[in-house]
C-alpha cells in the first residue's frame, strides 16, 4: 500500500504535509513529495486522514502498484 499524489490536480495548499509530515514532505516549490515506502495496515487510519485532508482529491492509495 503506497500513497500516490496526482500533481496535475494538486493546488499546493499544503494540508497534506502540514498534517502528516511523516507521510508527505514539502518540496522547495511547495509541492508535496510522498515518502517512498510501503505503508503498514496500522498506518491505514493515518493514510485515510491524509486522503481526507486534500481539498481537491489529489491523494489516493495504491495497492500492488495499482490505483484502485
Ligand atoms: S493537500 Fe492536496 S492540494 Fe494540498 S498540497 Fe497536498 S496534495 Fe496538494
43 or 66: whose pLDDT is higher?
43
Q: What would the grid cell of residue 25 be?
A: 514532505
| Mean pLDDT taken over the chain | 93
Terminal C-alpha separation, the chain: 11
Instruction: Confirm or reject: Cβ of 25 under 6 Å from ligand 1.
Output: no
Q: Which residues contact 53 (CB under 8 A, 6 or more apart)?
A: 15, 16, 19, 20, 59
- Given this structure, which CATH class describes domain 2-60? alpha beta
Residue 65's pLDDT band (cuts 50, 70, 90)? low
Best mutation site among 7, 25, 28, 59 for ligand 1 pocket (most ligand atoms within 8 Å of CB): 59
Q: Model pTM greater than 0.85?
A: yes
Instruction: Confirm or reject: Cβ of 15 under 6 Å from ligand 1.
Output: yes
Q: pLDDT tens across 27-63, in order? A: 999 999 999 899 999 999 999 999 999 999 999 999 8
Amino acid at each position: 500500500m503506497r500513497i500516490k499524489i496526482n500533481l496535475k490536480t494538486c493546488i499546493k495548499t499544503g494540508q497534506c504535509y502540514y498534517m502528516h509530515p511523516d507521510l508527505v514532505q514539502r518540496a522547495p516549490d511547495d509541492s508535496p513529495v510522498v515518502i517512498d515506502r510501503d505503508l503498514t495496515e496500522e498506518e491505514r487510519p493515518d493514510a485515510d486522514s491524509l486522503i481526507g485532508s486534500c481539498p481537491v482529491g489529489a491523494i489516493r492509495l495504491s495497492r500492488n502498484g495499482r490505483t484502485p
